[in-house]
Structure 1
Amino acid sequence: MAGTATIPIIDISAEGADQIQVAKELVDAAVEYGFVYVRNAGRDISTEQIENAFGLSRTLFASPLEDKQRCKIEKNNQGWSGMHTETLDPKTQRVGDFKEGFNFGTFKDGKATQPIPRSIEPHQAQLAGFREACHALCQKLLLLFGIGLQVDPPTFFTSAHSPAQPSGSILRFLYYPPPSATPTAEPADVRAGAHSDYGSVTLLFRLRGQAGLEILEPAGTWAPVPVTPPGTEGDVAPPILVNIGDLLSYWTNGLLRSTVHRVSFSSTPTPGESSTDPRYSIVYFCHPADATPLAPVPSARVAAAIDGNVHAGAGADKKEMTAAEHLKMRLSETYLQMYAEGKK
């Protein structure tokens, strides 16, 4: 195991910050690491919203099994997935992931547009507000990427991610049982298999003290990603971890890095974090509108990456597809059983 991952920390909402400089730092982090910590301090998404979302996550996963099964995940990527349903690294995993998940699609007038457990039905407006806040933060990041990449126009990414258009954007709650509750796990097993994310930008919210996330470093070693990196210990809440997804990397011909990561059982967790307790996390996967064509973005820096073949092979001989086609391709690799059943 390598040492703790070194990931830049950027405050994108600091008062008086130079937007062009912040955009440059954000793009540099995305090119070099594919991950960046964003200091939140309650400015973009309130601490209360985050705490309430984690409270609802605990309530949801504590719901009766039959109530969760009633909301079983479908090919629209919405609903509940049980233990071992998802296999993020099918080439190496013995069994599916040791986790449960619940994917929320869109809300309309503060109401879910899909079946949800009865235990959280009274809190739909709260969930809708949190999802909207996540998307707004992603739009802020996407504008900064447009500025930092010198895209013409800089609103290219934000226009493609309009919340008014159908897309694959998902708010996801995740629950990883403690190792003591997974006696069938073997030493080589992981809680979530090695993977890169499918969309444009991912927001990850974690709770202090809960270990598990690791990134694959260029040397081929796994490095833990602390919930609270040095310098943020006094913040009211841990920074939000942002990472680049495959789609944004594909869209920029590999210039922006989509880094492989996993959730392990963490036999050697980061100091101050535990791997013996349950682990909860909340993720927002931001996707462009389904019909968006994934042609290289109009950016001189991306064009230079194509000429220079940055991150060799990232975009070589690739077929142009839409955002919806890209997502379907990735989901069919992850939910093997669900898609196999559809072929019968």
Structure 2
Amino acid sequence: MPEKTLSPYEQVPVTKEDRTQFEKPGGKQELVKQLEHAVRHVGFFYVKNFNISQEEVDRQFALGREFYDLPLEEKLKYHNIKDLEAGEYNGYRPAGLRSLALGITDNIQVYNIPKFDGHHERQQPAVLQDHIKDIETFSRKCHSEVVVKLLKLFALLLEIDEEFFIKDHVYDDFGEDHLRYMHYAARSAEENAQVGELYTPGHTDLGSVTLLFRQPVAALQILNNEGQWKWVKPQDATITINTCDALTALTAGYVKSSVHRVRAPPSDQAHIDRLGVLYFARPNNHVVLDPIKSPVLDRLGLTSNAFTNLNQHLTMQEWVKLRQTQQQRKTETPEIKEGKYFYKSKDLEILPGLTATIHN
């Protein structure tokens, strides 16, 4: 069967700069200074000059578009509700699995492609299988060109060996990193009003860092350290990075797990479906999420985290299973008041003594 030709997905041109700050003498130290406030107080920042061309990024958007243009019955071949409820998140998740208000369900479709570490063999739809080498190359570049460099900066920030986090985030070792094509369907103004103008309420991600590739539909908001929701502006030729729960656990809370939500877009974009390309980086499955040893953490007296406070010493694989099972659990329709979501406590329990937080 001939390979399907992809039409272009046009975005901004790649930067013309020929040398990144990371590679300059003393550059990493300067970046660490810039990074400190962002990871301690906000959890969000932008990366530019990341050695992945705009053409490569646009090709992933084109593949996401082609997948979501498939008939629903074709996409459902890659969905298994029992696996999803058991914490298996790779493959397809259709919209409409959660009731949000009377007659309104969630509007989010997800397709997750696990990293190519030899432990996650899966059948892919033809439109993706025909381009699987491109997908693997992109996945590996997300790791080598972005994640690895950030991990070095985090280590320098904590005054530990530059390679410390890298040894626990080896691409070819068993782990739960994945590439995601994410589709949010536009709603009517009346429907948006009923669900508090939100596509996704405030939450944190469960891994180390999340990479969100630039797309122009404004919807992402972060909760700043003053308790205010702020729009994240899509900046040309950048990746938006947020730090996540596993990194917070490993640093005993020093690195903030960013709180973010996806709001209904502004009125001039409210009619547009929103397509996202994301990469989720996580420690390898064997890594125990206990606080690490660091001179910085020692000086601040940071020695415990939400898991160890419960006498739990979870591996990354265990944490993913627990959190994903909670996230995919069938829940009662939440109560929505003034844009705030209220779920029953049983729907938010991850393990005894630890519950997920809906950040209102």
Instruction: Give the 3 Å change call, closer, same or farther, for CA 150–100 of structure 1 in structure 2.
Output: same
Which residue in the other structure is 2:309 paired with? 317
Instruction: Give the 3 Å change call, closer, same or farther, for CA 316–326 of structure 1 in structure 2.
Output: closer
In the alignment, the residues of structure 1 paired with residue 223 and residue 192 of structure 2 have an alpha-carbon distance, to the nearest angstrom, of 26
DSSP 3-state at the match of 2:122: coil
Native 8 Å contact 1:206 1:280 kept in 2: no
TM-superposition CA deviations, 1:225-246 (whole Å, max 9, x none): 1112xxxxxxxx4310111001
In the alignment, the residues of structure 1 paired with residue 21 and residue 189 of structure 2 have an alpha-carbon distance, to the nearest angstrom, of 40
Match among 261, 271, 276 for residue 271 of structure 2: 276
Report the alpha carbon displacement of residue 148 of structure 1 after superposing the two structures with TM: 1.6
Q: Is 1:212–2:224 an aligned residue pair?
A: no
Report the alpha carbon displacement of residue 206 of structure 1 after superposing the two structures with TM: 2.5
Native 8 Å contact 1:195 1:262 kept in 2: yes
DSSP 3-state at the match of 2:130: helix
TM-superposition CA deviations, 1:3-53 (whole Å, max 9, x none): xxxxxxxx654655521221232233211211111113xx42111110100
Q: TM-score, normalized by length of structure 2?
A: 0.76
Match among 93, 101, 113 for residue 81 of structure 1: 93
Q: Is 1:285–2:293 an aligned residue pair?
A: no
In the alignment, the residues of structure 2 paired with residue 182 and residue 78 of structure 1 have an alpha-carbon distance, to the nearest angstrom, of 33
In the alignment, the residues of structure 1 paired with residue 114 and residue 276 of structure 2 have an alpha-carbon distance, to the nearest angstrom, of 17
In the alignment, the residues of structure 1 paired with residue 98 and residue 170 of structure 2 have an alpha-carbon distance, to the nearest angstrom, of 28
Instruction: Give the 3 Å change call, closer, same or farther, for CA 181–274 of structure 1 in structure 2.
Output: closer
DSSP 3-state at the match of 2:233: coil
Q: Which runs of 5+ in 1 are unaligned?
A: 1-10, 88-92, 229-236
Which residue in the other structure is 2:328 paired with? 335
Match among 121, 129, 146 for residue 113 of structure 1: 121
Which residue in the other structure is 2:168 paired with? 160
TM-superposition CA deviations, 1:191-238 (whole Å, max 9, x none): 123210010011111312x1100112233332111112xxxxxxxx43
Which residue in the other structure is 1:8 paired with? none
Which residue in the other structure is 2:292 paired with? 297
Write the mapping of 1:67-146 to structure 2, written as runs, cut at 5 A: 67-72=74-79, 74=83, 75-85=87-97, 94=101, 97-107=106-116, 113-136=121-144, 137-146=146-155
Native 8 Å contact 1:12 1:38 kept in 2: no
Report the alpha carbon displacement of residue 128 of structure 1 after superposing the two structures with TM: 0.6
Native 8 Å contact 1:61 1:175 kept in 2: yes
In the alignment, the residues of structure 1 paired with residue 237 and residue 189 of structure 2 have an alpha-carbon distance, to the nearest angstrom, of 27
Which residue in the other structure is 1:257 paired with? 256
In the alignment, the residues of structure 2 paired with residue 182 and residue 133 of structure 1 have an alpha-carbon distance, to the nearest angstrom, of 42
Write the mapping of 1:41-56 to structure 2, written as runs, cut at 5 A: 43-56=50-63
Native 8 Å contact 1:253 1:305 kept in 2: no
Instruction: Give the 3 Å change call, closer, same or farther, for CA 182–155 of structure 1 in structure 2.
Output: farther
Aligned AA (2:163):
T
Q: TM-score, normalized by length of structure 1?
A: 0.80
Instruction: Give the 3 Å change call, closer, same or farther, for CA 252–154 of structure 1 in structure 2.
Output: same
Report the alpha carbon displacement of residue 96 of structure 1 after superposing the two structures with TM: 5.6
Aligned AA (2:265):
S
Which residue in the other structure is 2:357 paired with? none
In the alignment, the residues of structure 2 paired with residue 148 and residue 67 of structure 1 have an alpha-carbon distance, to the nearest angstrom, of 47
Aligned AA (2:71):
P
Instruction: Give the 3 Å change call, closer, same or farther, for CA 118–183 of structure 1 in structure 2.
Output: farther
Aligned AA (1:30):
V
DSSP 3-state at the match of 2:34: helix
Report the alpha carbon displacement of residue 57 of structure 1 after superposing the two structures with TM: 0.6
Native 8 Å contact 1:70 1:115 kept in 2: no
Native 8 Å contact 1:98 1:192 kept in 2: no
Instruction: Give the 3 Å change call, closer, same or farther, for CA 23–172 of structure 1 in structure 2.
Output: same
Question: Could you tell which deviates more after superposition, 20-29 or 64-73?
Answer: 20-29
Report the alpha carbon displacement of residue 119 of structure 1 after superposing the two structures with TM: 2.1
Aligned AA (1:305):
L
Instruction: Give the 3 Å change call, closer, same or farther, for CA 64–274 of structure 1 in structure 2.
Output: same
DSSP 3-state at the match of 1:193: strand
In the alignment, the residues of structure 1 paired with residue 159 and residue 74 of structure 2 have an alpha-carbon distance, to the nearest angstrom, of 49
DSSP 3-state at the match of 2:171: coil
Which residue in the other structure is 1:197 paired with? 205
Give aligned-pair identity as a percent.
27
Aligned AA (2:134):
Q
DSSP 3-state at the match of 1:337: coil
Number of equivalent positions: 304
In the alignment, the residues of structure 2 paired with residue 293 and residue 142 of structure 1 have an alpha-carbon distance, to the nearest angstrom, of 17
In the alignment, the residues of structure 2 paired with residue 32 and residue 162 of structure 1 have an alpha-carbon distance, to the nearest angstrom, of 28
Question: Could you tell which deviates more after superposition, 93-102 or 199-208?
Answer: 93-102
In the alignment, the residues of structure 1 paired with residue 166 and residue 303 of structure 2 have an alpha-carbon distance, to the nearest angstrom, of 27
Write the mapping of 1:219-230 to structure 2, written as runs, cut at 5 A: 219-228=226-235
